[in-house]
Amino acid sequence: MRQVDHFIAGGAAGSAPRTHKIWNPSTGEVQAEVPLGDAALLQKAVEAAKAVQPEWAATNPQRRARVMFEFKRLVENEKQALAELLSSEHGKVVDDAHGDVQRGLEVIEYACGIPQALKGEYTQGAGPGIDVYSMRQPLGIGAGITPFNFPAMIPMWMFGMAIAAGNAFILKPSERDPSVPVRLAQLFLEAGAPEGLLQVVHGDKEMVDAIIDNADIAAISFVGSSDIAQYIYSRGTANGKRVQAFGGAKNHGIVMPDADLDQVVNDLAGAAFGSAGERCMALPVVVPVGEQTADNLREKLIPAIHALRVGVATDKDAHYGPVVTPEHKSRIEQWIDTAEKEGAEVVIDGRGFSLQGHENGFFVGPTLLDRVTPKMESYREEIFGPVLQIVRAKDFEEAVRLPSEHQYGNGVAIFTRNGHAAREFAHRVNVGMVGINVPIPVPVSYHSFGGWKRSGFGDTDQYGQEGLRFWTKAKKVTQRWPDGMADADNKDAFIIPTMG
C-alpha cells in the first residue's frame, strides 16, 4: 500500500508505529496510509529548520522572491497532476481542485512582491540630528496546522507569506489528504529553497500538542473547527507563541425582496453545494426577507437542486463529489436527522444517497431544509455538508440580526438591487467578511482573510499585509550621529527625550 511520508530536511523521514488511513472517497476504498509522528520526530524538523533559517533570513528579499517565482512556475506546470491527486484523496471534483490550487497560488504571487512589502518607514529629522526608521524582521520558525478541505490553498496561504518574510516553516496538514502538501514541499525544494526551510510532518492531536509546546516554534497558524482553534490559541499563547486560529462558520445569505432570484438560485447552488459543502466559506443558510420572497425562492430552488449532478471526483459533468470520510458522511446525515426532529421541513432529502457503480462511496445528496429557526441546534452548529437551510426573516432588521447574533462570524452575503440596503447591511452586520451580491466573499490575495467571534481567534488575518504582520516583528530604530564631543555637564541627558 502506498505510504505518504513525512518530509524533513529535504527528504522522506521514516515510518511510525501509528498510521492513519487515506480513503478514496469516490470508491470507499483505502488507497494509502500516513504515519502519525510524535514530539521526537517534530524535533528533527525543528533542528533542520534552526540550521537553515538564519541564513535564509539574511538572504535579501529579492533573492527570496526569485524562489517564490520559481515555485509558482513549477506548481503551474504540475497543476493538473496536483488537482487529480487532491481530488483522489479529498473527493472534490477535479475542476474544483484546480480552484483550490489556484487560490493558493494567488497568495504565492503576492509573496513574490516581498521586497516591496517589507519596506519599512523612515523619518528624517524627527529631532535635532535624529532620524527614526523601522524594519520588519522574521520571527524564526513558524508552523501551520491545516484542515482537509483545502489541502493546497490553505498551506500556501500560510507558508507563502511566512517563508517570503524570512522564516522557516513546518506544516502539519490534515492526515485525511496529506499527499498534495508533501508534493508542494518537494516542489519548493526544487524551486531553490534550502533543505529544511519548508517541511511537512504528519500526525493527530499528539503532533498538534508537540507543535504547541515546542519552545523553538515562535508562531502557529491554524484553520479547522472552533473548539480546536480555541484550544490551540489558548495553549499556544500561554506558551508565549504568536497564534492565529480560524474556526468554523455558519455563513448566511440574505435575500431581499428586490433581488434577482434567478441569479440568487444560481449563486446558492454553487455556494451551498460546491465541494459538497465542505468549505468554511460555504453558504449553508439562506435568509429570505418576507414570506413572499421565501415562497418564491423555495419554488425556484427545488428544481435547481434536483438538477444537481453528484458524481465521482473525476466526473467532468458532476457539480460535486463525495465527502471526505465515512465518518463525515454519517455526521452530516445525523445533522439532517436532528433538524427533522427539531421541526425543520425536509424539502429535499439527501440521506441514503447511492451512486450507481459506486455504492460504497461517501456520497450525500443535496438537501434542502425549510422552516429552520434560530433555536434549532442544526442552525446553531456547523454541518459542513451539502445541506441548505432556509431561515425566514420577517424584515430587514431581523435579517441583520440573525448573522450578527450567531456564534460564528466568518462570512455573510446580501442579495439586493438596493444600494442603500446593501451599504447599511455591510456597515451594521457583525461578521468579518461581507459579500454584496457575491455569495462567497473570500478577499483577493492582496487584502486579507479572517472571520470574527468563534470563527477567528487572534488579532491578525491571513495573507496580505495582515499576514505579513503576523509572520514578522517590527523593530524601531532611533539614531543620532553627533558631530561634537559630549557635554559632561548636560543635564538634559537625565530627562526623558522628546522631539519638541
Say if CB 411 and CB 436 are below 8 A apart.
no
CA distance 141 to 368: 45
**DSSP, res 427:** H
CA distance 247 to 235: 15
Say if CB 339 and CB 41 are below 8 A apart.
no
Say if CB 188 and CB 197 are below 8 A apart.
yes
CA distance 68 to 115: 12
Other beta carbons within 10 angstroms of residue 17's beta carbon come to 7
Q: For 376-463, where are the alpha helices, taking DSSP H only?
A: 377-380, 396-405, 419-428
Residue from 52, 244, 22, 35 nearest 154 by CA: 244
Q: For 191-319, where are the alpha helices, taking DSSP H only?
A: 205-213, 226-238, 261-273, 291-306
Strands 19-24 and 345-348: unpaired
219 CB contacts (<8 Å, ≥6 apart)?
Answer: 139, 142, 143, 162, 167, 241, 242, 243, 470, 471
Q: How far is CA 468 from CA 331, 447, 461, in A?
A: 37, 11, 9
SS3 297: helix
Tell me the catalytic residues: 280
Q: How far is CA 44 from CA 6, 51, 121, 170, in A?
A: 11, 11, 38, 11
Burial track 126-153 (b if 16+ CB lie within 10 A, e otherwise): eeeeeebeeebebbbbbbbbbbbbbbbb
CA distance 53 to 48: 9
Strands 408-409 and 452-453: antiparallel
Q: Residue 398: exposed, middle, or buried by beta-carbon count in 10 A (0-12, 13-18, 19+)?
A: middle
296 Cα distance to chain centroid: 34
Say if CB 21 and CB 52 are below 8 A apart.
no
341 CB contacts (<8 Å, ≥6 apart)?
Answer: none
Query: Grid coordinates representing 147?
Result: 484542515
